[in-house]
Amino acid sequence: MFSKVVYMTVFVSDQDKALDFYTTVLGFENRVDNRSPHGRFVGVGLPGQDFLLVLCPGTPGRANAAAGQVPGAVVVETGDCRKVFADLKARGVEFETAAPLDLPFGRIVVGLDPDGNRLQIVERPKH
């Protein structure tokens, strides 16, 4: 029925501030920044991937999980969670987890973007 997911939206209070965070701090590429009478469409993505993360004006996500931890609004994968955690912490990223957590499915750390949207960084087990 479908061929791919094109983009997903993260609601932000300030598109310029969010664009700076996702590109300068996290290393996403600025893919689209279109202004029209209907508003501004801002999309970022990881190098080598077509998927867009759209930074849309709105009330930032403050989800409450029905049971357990709230999932990340944005989930990215890395080969070295500890290194990414240290690098981003040095760049001023706020984290909900004090350090990477070792879980049955891999290692994770949960940070926050400037609006409090959860950024989950995952390192899958090496087999």
- Domain covering 74-123 in this structure, CATH number: 3.10.180.10
Give tens-digit pLDDT for 75-126.
Answer: 899 999 999 999 999 999 999 999 999 988 899 999 999 998 989 999 998 8
d(CA 30, CA 46): 9
The domain made up of 7-57 is a member of CATH 3.10.180.10: yes
pTM given for the model: 0.83
Is it true that 7-57 and 74-123 share their CATH fold? yes
d(CA 97, CA 77): 17
Q: Which helix (H) or strand (E) holds 32?
A: strand 29-36
pLDDT for 109 equals 94
pLDDT, the chain, mean: 89
Report domain extents, the chain: 7-57, 74-123
